[in-house]
Structure formats: structure tokens, C-alpha cells
Structure 1
Amino acid sequence: MTKRIDVEFQSEGFTIRGWLYVGDESRKSPAVVLAGGWCYVREIVMPTYAQAFAEAGINALVFDYRNLGVSDGDKPQHLDPWQQIRDYENAISFLERHELCDPDRLGVWGISYSGGHALILAATDPRVKSIVSQIPVIDGYENMRRAHGTMEYRALWDLILEDRKLRYEKPGERLYLPHATEDSASEVSSWPFPETVRTFMSIKNSTAPLYQNKSTVESVDLLLNYDVGPFVKRIYNTPTLMIVAEGDDLTLWDLEIGAFNQIPCTNKKLEVLPHTSHMTLYSDQSKVEKAAGFARDWFVQTLKP
């Protein structure tokens, strides 16, 4: 096991807490920032990736966004993608100044919602020299329309409008909904897939007790306006690996492949994991380790530890 140390940094007035997996204590090494998807806390699969990177000589910082897990925040379980991207940016600023990190060899890894964030960071932050985007959310609007279907999508919008009314009439109050549910016909959730709630509740019970199966309704309101499309066209020279699960109908592998094809950078690679679903990249350790190997090899190739 490599050395793991507790760290914290500031992001827009909030204390963000995480773990730094040390690649080499004797010199400045490359470093990669990792953060999670919808409602994730740092214990959810990310330590497997961070450990693989550190064993290859690459520092790896895993952190909880504001409002989640052990980090501070003013809106519990609230997921604002642009705040999360700023937390990533401030994690990069923290690593730039760390004595064990080479500020000229910094990378970003993201999965699901943060897989989209990684693509945006590749387009908007020149400090990022390489990224891995795994099963990313591409277009929140299209994703929600297709994931919920017509009747459930109507119910979702009814809840969003109810929340908007509440936030106007009683500032500071907000509605919540489950991350996922067993019965999407009778309970509105953000991601209406029974395998999602089963997988994450299993992870909660085994390794991630701070995970909560809920977010603010406003989080979904914000997701509906999230789209990496305008950003992937701006990834000209940031090496990009996208890892996609074959047939993924949660974050929609056709949208992921379409986004990959729009990246103009010539140093890009697409890995499609066969016989793999979105959720088996959390529940099946062999698949997690295979994806971690792809990501590790990409960062070794591009950040050169």
C-alpha cells in the first residue's frame, strides 16, 4: 500500500477535505485530481484508481465536493456542477503548491457526472495536461428525457416547479429527492434505475457510510442545463482518454461516443469496455480494476512519472 495522507484546501470559502495518495516521497511527481459523480463521497470506487496511480508513481488527490461527505458546505447534498468544477480547479491550485507535486504535470480523472467535468476542465484550464473521462454525463437535458421517459419526466418537472416556488417563497428552504429508487413509477428520483440504488446502498453499507441517497431537487434543475458539447470542441491539445461501457443506457454511450468524436485533439483514445454496464463499474471489482488499469496507463504515457 502506498502512503495516504489527509489533506484539506479552500474553495470559495469552504474547506474541502480529501486524501492524497503519494506516488514518490523522494521527489516532485505528476499528480491527478479525482472526484465523483452524483452524490458520491470519496470512498466510492475512487480509492482503487488513486491506489493504481500512486503505485505507478503518480500522486492522486481524492476529495469530497462542498456539501458532501467530510467537506464543508452551506447546502447539504446540493450538487451544482459549476461549483464542483471550481472545487476541481481549487484542488489543482492546491496541488500546484504541494511540495511533492510537479505543477507542470497535472491531470484530471472523472466518472459519470465528473466525467463530464473532466472534459470541461480539459477545455477551460490549461494547467490540466491530461484527462480521463469515464462513462461521462454529456447532455443533462437529453439524459433526463431518455432516462425518465415521458410520464416520469412530467412528474420530474412538476417537482422542479414545486421546488422553484418554495425557494422563491421561503428562501433557504428546498425540496429533496432520492438519487435513485427501486420504483420509479411511484417515486420521483434523479436517476430512476433500481440497479443504481441497490449498488450504492451496498457500497454505503460496506465502505461509504457518509453516502446519502438524496440530493436537492435544484440539483436536477441545474443538471438539465448541463452540456459538455460546447466544450469538447475546444479540447485541442489536452490528451484525452474516454472510457465507455458497452451499451450504457444510464449516461448513454451513444452521446459519449458522439462527444468523443467531436474532440479535435489528435492525442485522444476511446476504450469501450465490452459486457459492462454503467453500474458494474462500481459493483464488479474486476471491471473497476480493468478501467483503473486503462486510466493508469494513460496517465503514465502522458504525464510521464
Structure 2
Amino acid sequence: MPVSEQVSWAGDAGKLAGRLFLPDVDESAPVSGVVIAGTWTSVKEQMADRYAEELARRGFAALSFDSTGYGESDGDPRDYESPTLKVSDLRMAADFLAARPEVGDGELGVLGICAGAMYASAFAAEDSRVRSLALVAPWLHDRRICEENYGGPEGISAKKAAALEARRQYEETGQVVYVPVVSGSDPEAAMPFDIDFYLNPRRGGIRQWPNRYAVMAWSEWLDFDAVALAPRVTAPTLLVHSEDAAIPDGARRFHAGLAGPSEFLWTQGGQFDFYDQPLQVGYAADATAEHFARTL
């Protein structure tokens, strides 16, 4: 059975807090390590812990963690979705995991879930320590996909104008303008829908997650081009996705542009099923573990 340990290490803005899952407390031989990037706005307890435990059951040392400004990690402003910060946090998490005695030298993989796939891919594109990459239900966007999902050029412009004003207010007063991440009643929410995973306390609507999105983050989020990263990703890459999950077109286009060896597995399920439903999580964990075992 896996064992877990609360861990922390120094980040750019203070402590980064995580949980390290190990395959066996009596394991003596080093094993491959995997850093896990959860979905946007998430804390580790929502889905990263789940995948880390599943990978530990399959023989890996797996690290889940809260990014800067989220959950138990330090950093201000809180709940600020910065791709730049999240990629930097992944780098420092990899530093921590690679230094653990349980992890073999040069045996580092990265798993990205939903928008975590964008951050994991950016990290893999710039750091040769990433020997293998896996993306589950990946949200991989570019300008075209953002326009399709956020109200066209006018919607993008409106969100970036709101972000600029929120940034001005933060710099002048220190106050952060927030909207809900998820709400079916607030049209300004980052995801203006009633999404059971995020609103149900038995799923992802947990006390550690405040359901708020810093408006000033919109500009960096919308300008991030994950599809353009693909030609720079040379590590063996696995994608697990469904036609019923989020933006499969972005995943297809990313996959087509990859520079290294790759595999794309299509399965069944909605986007949020891959966060906590046993059928989808089990399938993704099996596929990911097999990929890492073969490529690390």
C-alpha cells in the first residue's frame, strides 16, 4: 500500500506545500519520480492527490502540491492563475523530488491534468530533466480556442480590459478583485456554469478551495499558447482524452505538432469524470503508469 508524507520546500514566494506518495514504506531500491500538475485554480486535494496515490500504487514516487498562492502554499496574491508562476513552481517541485533518496537519478516524469497539461508541457519544453510527459483530459489552448470558448475577439478584449483594471486596482490599493471560478448564476465567473464537481462538497467543492479567480489573471491566461509548445516537446508524451471532454481539438493539434514520440489514447467520459470518477481515473492511471514504466 502507498504511504504519504506531508512535505514542503522553498519557492520564489515562500513555502510550497505538497504531499509525497511512495509505493512502499519498505522499498529500498530507488524508483521513478512523477510531479503532478492539477487543473487550473485547484488545490492538491481536489485531484492531484488522487493521481499521486494511484501512481504510487503502481510503483512510482509521486508528488502533488499546491502552487504559489494556493492552498497551503505561501504567496500573494492568493488564487492568482499565472502560467508563468505555475511552470516555475513545477521546476522547483522537480528540484525537490529529484533530490529525494527514494527517486532514481534521471528518472523524472510529469503528469498534467486539464490545464495542468499546459504547464506540464511548458516545463517539459524547457527542462531536459523531464524524461517523460503524460497529459490527462488536457486543456491545451491557443488564441483560436480561447476565442471559441470566451466569446470571440470581443469577449477576449473584455476580459483583458477587466484584467487591466483589476491589475491597476491591485497595484494602487493591494486589493484583489475576484470572481467565482464556478457559478451558474454569475456571468462573470471564470466558468459560468453549474459544475457538480466544483460545487459538490463530496467531490471538488472542498473547504480548502475558496472558489475564487483573480480577475487580473485573465490576460496571462488568455495569451498563453500551449499548442505552439508542441514542437519544443521532445520527451515521450502520452495523451488520454475523450471526445466528450474539454476542447479535444486543441489536444489533437498539440499532438500533431509534438517533436518526440507520442501516443494518443481516446476513451469515454466527461471532463470532470477524469478528476474523481473511478472508471476514468483508473483508466488514466493505468495508461499513465504504463507509459512512465516504458519511458523512464
Quick check: TM above 0.5? yes
TM-score normalised over the length of structure 2: 0.91
Q: Which residue identity is paired with 2:236?
A: P
Which portions of structure 1, spanning 4 or more consecutive aligned residues, are displaced by more than 6 angstroms?
Answer: 204-207
Q: Which stretches in structure 2 are left out of the alignment for 5+ residues?
A: none
| 1:134-213 matched pairs, under 5 angstroms | 134-139=136-141, 141-150=143-152, 156-167=159-170, 170-183=172-185, 186-195=186-195, 198-203=196-201, 208-213=206-211
Partners of 1:234 and 1:158 lie apart in 2 by 31
The alignment partner of 1:221 has SS state of helix
d(CA) in 1 for partners of 2:142 and 2:42?
Answer: 17
Asked if the contact 2:241–2:267 (Cα under 8 Å) also holds between the matched residues in 1, the reply is yes
In 2, the alpha carbon distance for the partners of 1:202 and 1:44 equals 11
**Other-structure match for 1:229:** 227
Q: Decide whether aligned partners of structure 1 residues 189 and 155 sit closer, same or farther in structure 2, where only a CA change above 3 A counts.
A: farther
Aligned twin of 1:15 = 15
TM-score normalised by L of structure 1: 0.88
Q: Determine if contact 2:77/2:176 at 8 Å carries over to the other structure.
A: no
Q: CA RMSD in A?
A: 2.1
Contact kept, 8 Å, 2:69 with 2:79, in 1: the verdict is yes
SS in 2 for 1:49: helix
- Equivalence for 1:6: 6
CA-CA distance at 1:139 after TM superposition: 2.2
Partner in structure 2 of residue 281 of structure 1: 274
Secondary structure of residue in 2 paired with 1:17: strand
Q: Which residue identity does 1:234 align to in structure 2?
A: R
Matching of residues 1-305 of structure 1 within 5 Å: 1-24=1-24, 25-139=27-141, 141-150=143-152, 156-167=159-170, 170-183=172-185, 186-195=186-195, 198-203=196-201, 208-236=206-234, 238-248=235-245, 250=246, 252-265=247-260, 267-274=261-268, 276-303=269-296
Q: Distance in 2 between matches of 1:82 and 1:20?
A: 24
Distance 1:206 1:213, change over 3 A: closer
CA contact (8 A) 1:45 1:288 kept: no
Which runs of 5 or more residues in structure 1 are unaligned?
none
Report the CA distance shift for 1:60/1:85 in structure 2 as closer, same or farther (over 3 A): same
Q: C-alpha separation between the residues in 2 aligned to 1:187 and 1:135?
A: 25
| 2:240/2:264 contact within 8 Å kept | yes
**How far does residue 153 in structure 1 lie from its aligned partner after superposition?**
5.3
After superposition, the Cα gap between the structure-2 partners of 1:83 and 1:153, relative to the gap in structure 1 and judged at 3 Å, is closer
CA distance in 2, matches of 1:268, 1:256: 12
In structure 2, C-alpha distance between the alignment counterparts of 1:15 and 1:204, rounded to whole Å: 28
Amino acid corresponding to residue 16 of structure 2 in structure 1? I
Measure the CA separation in 1 of the matches of 2:78 and 2:30: 36
